[in-house]
Amino acid sequence: MADLLLGRTETTTDVTVATDDLVTHGFIVGMTGSGKTGLGVGLIEECLNAGVPCLLIDPKGDLTNLALVFPGLTGPEFEPWVDPSLAKEAGVPAFAAQQAAMWKEGLAPWGIAEPQMAEFKAKFEVAIYTPGSNAGIPLNVLGSLQAPQTDDQEVVTDEIDGYVTSLLSVVGISADPLSSREHILLSNIIASAWAAGENIDLPTLLARVNQPPMRKLGVFDLDEFFPPKDRQAFAMKLNAVLAAPTFANWITGQPIDIQSMLWAADGRPRCAIVTTAHLSDEDRQSATSLVLSKLVTWMRRQSGTTDLRALLYMDEVAGYLPPTANPPTKKPIMLLMKQARAFGLGVVLSTQNPVDIDYKAVSNAGTWMIGRLTTENDKARLLEGMPPGVDISQAISALGKRQFLIRKAGKNDVEQFGTKWARSYLRGPMTRDQIAQVMATAPPEVPTSPEQTAAPETPPIATQPEAPVPGAAPTLGAAAAAATPPPAAVPEQVPEPAPAEDETPVMPTVAEGIPVAYMDPAAPWAAQVGAVPAASTGPRLQAAVIARVAVRYEMPKSEPIPEEYEAVLFPAP
């Protein structure tokens, strides 16, 4: 366990929160200009300094500032990142020098100077992920349909639900998982493939919309539940989106692998920032829900712990967690707030609009940090979560900038404090070009499996060995190169083997009147009979016998019940 420094009271008493308190989650609220972003960044910095990896959902772009840590605290380090519109009067070099001096002066009372800044920066690695864009590290949000490594059917179902909901959202279909036939069809196709141990991709999923590997959905025949003509129209709609040039960015880059997002290849914790500021509201929901679904799957593979294993920080969460609507992000957030503490995953939600979030989720947060609020509705909603007899309405209105009230987990008393100075340069949201610039100097992104990048069984939270000051980081030609592996070598042509004694290169003659059909690759029994040959054997056709029996049950005082049974005899007798 480690104590994370948040700020100080008026009597210069340090205000800290223990890492094991964050396992019971946190909630930050404050109006625009209250210093909410600075408090959140400071909390994330303290977690990283304690060796705790952080996954950040950043819909506005403010959290990308965590990549701007300048160990020397000099003007030239700040100069490329200052806002030119604010530097018009003094000039960029002079304004950058002023900003560097301000940061140096602001950090001094907290015992932070150049050596501490260098040590801090060496402890972790920053990665900015940009789904739907190659400005940072692109994420293959929709192209990969790899089955989760778990036997927990609930995890599998949740991941399928999240993927299908997000895919349909991108297509422009708002689907209810329980009533939408599009959602039900896609979910069953994916579930069928995963049950057979098959990792499919998006084009394969689309192809199976026309010829699904099942004949019934529920108690109805497939063609009755979703007629072929309607399936064809649905497939065409999906294909139109896939064919759009703008969709390419959604299916390129590295797959969403939470383990490698949280831990660098060298074992250091990561500050993984998933920024969605460049996306529309619908696309932002889709990308975020898929990341959260993968996080839930990762979480359930972890062993139980009472201390903080990793932190999820969600900025401006109101749109993701409304009180009445059910966007695709709401279900995984609610699940994380209820279950994540058992696995050592802390969740911190931040918002400036407390009336616009579902308080069933916030009620699971043990630590509340409250900044200035002026509207009575916001204050009244917030006071609902306070213990009986605690009235902080006047105190909330009187708070100044960077002043907060904190109620810690398991305690009823409320404490006022001023936030510490952030190590990161808080210059505001970065542009796409600036994200590309900062990621161009980052170490290359090496996609790894959970086995290759295993987190320590017990993260070094309480004590952290001093890390050496890093040298110059390797540079890349472009940000996209950070996530794109080198092209694979062209495989050597392997000659097709000669036919065996019981094989012939010519199709044998079939007796007249005997129907001949070729197996659909989407047939549900294809994998069971080994119908997918090795790439080196070339196309090989083997005979099978299919027996199909149609039965019609007729009973008095009831409608006839048709049934169809099919048997596949392979190899052919």
* Residues 320 and 356 sit within 8 Å (Cβ to Cβ): no
Those residues with Cβ within 8 angstroms of residue 501's Cβ, 6 or more apart along the chain or in another chain: none
| Residue 465, pLDDT score | 35
Closest alpha carbon to 60 in 304, 349, 381, 317: 317
Average pLDDT on 400-409 reads 92
* Residues 420 and 110 sit within 8 Å (Cβ to Cβ): yes
Alpha-carbon distance of 252 to 139, in angstroms, equals 6
Instruction: Provide, rounded to the nearest whole percent, the portion of the chain with pLDDT above 70.
Output: 86
Closest alpha carbon to 124 in 24, 37, 59, 56: 56
Higher pLDDT, 43 or 140: 43
Min mean pLDDT across 250-254, 289-293, 532-536 is at 532-536
Average pLDDT on 347-361 reads 91
Sign of CA dihedral 382, 327, 301, 313: negative
Residues in the chain: 573
Residue 538: other Cβ atoms inside 10 A: 11
Residue 104 clears pLDDT 80, i.e. is over it? yes
Residue 408, SS3? coil
Residue 558 clears pLDDT 50, i.e. is over it? yes
For 514-528, give the secondary structure using H, E and C: CCCCCCCCCCCCCHH
Alpha-carbon distance of 92 to 83, in angstroms, equals 8
Give helix 153-171 / helix 330-339 axis angle, nearest 10°: 150
The pair of structure tokens assigned to 288 is 């975020």
pTM, rounded to two decimals = 0.78
The pair of structure tokens assigned to 395 is 């105190």
Eight-state DSSP code of residue 406: E
Residue 486 clears pLDDT 70, i.e. is over it? no
Residue 350 clears pLDDT 60, i.e. is over it? yes
| Residue 246, pLDDT score | 79
| Residue 35, pLDDT score | 94
| Residue 448, pLDDT score | 46
Residue 492: other Cβ atoms inside 10 A: 5
Strands 270-275 and 54-58, bridge-based pairing: parallel
**First CA to last CA across the chain, in angstroms?**
67
Alpha-carbon distance of 359 to 333, in angstroms, equals 12
Average pLDDT on 407-431 reads 92
| Residue 444, pLDDT score | 59
- Exposure b/e, 345-378, CB count within 10 A at least 16 = b: bbbbbbbbbbeebbbebbebbbbbbbbbbeeeeb
Alpha-carbon distance of 329 to 227, in angstroms, equals 31
pLDDT per residue over 443-452, tens digit each? 655 544 444 4
Cα dist from 322 to 154, 279, 326, 327, 536, whole Å: 24, 19, 7, 8, 53
The band of 460, judged by pLDDT with boundaries at 50, 70 and 90, is: very low
Strands 216-217 and 54-58, bridge-based pairing: unpaired
Task: Please report the DSSP string for 441-463 in residue order.
Answer: TSPPP----TTTSPPPSS---S-
Residue 47 clears pLDDT 70, i.e. is over it? yes
Task: Please report the DSSP string for 137-174 in residue order.
Answer: B-EESSSEEPPPS---HHHHHHHHHHHHHHHHHHHT--
Alpha-carbon distance of 129 to 441, in angstroms, equals 15
Cα dist from 257 to 138, 141, 297, 304, 479, whole Å: 13, 11, 10, 20, 19
Integer-rounded Cα radius of gyration of the chain = 28
Q: In the chain, what are the domains?
A: 3-73+113-140+260-457 (3.40.50.300), 144-248 (no CATH), 505-573 (no CATH)
Those residues with Cβ within 8 angstroms of residue 353's Cβ, 6 or more apart along the chain or in another chain: 318, 378
- Exposure b/e, 135-160, CB count within 10 A at least 16 = b: bbbbbbbbbbbebbeeeeeebbebbb
Those residues with Cβ within 8 angstroms of residue 19's Cβ, 6 or more apart along the chain or in another chain: 1, 2, 3, 4, 47, 50, 52, 307, 308, 346, 461
The pair of structure tokens assigned to 62 is 């403010």
* Residues 284 and 15 sit within 8 Å (Cβ to Cβ): no
Highest mean pLDDT, choosing among 211-220, 420-429, 497-506: 420-429
| Residue 493, pLDDT score | 45
| Residue 39, pLDDT score | 98
Phi, psi of 396 (to 5 degrees): -65, -45
Average pLDDT on 302-311 reads 92
pLDDT per residue over 368-390, tens digit each? 999 998 888 888 888 776 766 66
Residue 212 clears pLDDT 70, i.e. is over it? yes
Average pLDDT on 526-533 reads 66
Residue 297 clears pLDDT 70, i.e. is over it? yes
Residue 154 clears pLDDT 90, i.e. is over it? no
Phi, psi of 493 (to 5 degrees): -65, 125
What is the pLDDT of the chain when averaged over all its residues?
A: 84
The band of 498, judged by pLDDT with boundaries at 50, 70 and 90, is: low
User: How many CA atoms, within 13 angstroms, populate the side-chain half-sphere of residue 71?
Assistant: 14
Highest mean pLDDT, choosing among 288-297, 377-386, 389-398: 288-297
Instruction: Provide, rounded to the nearest whole percent, the portion of the chain with pLDDT above 90.
Output: 47
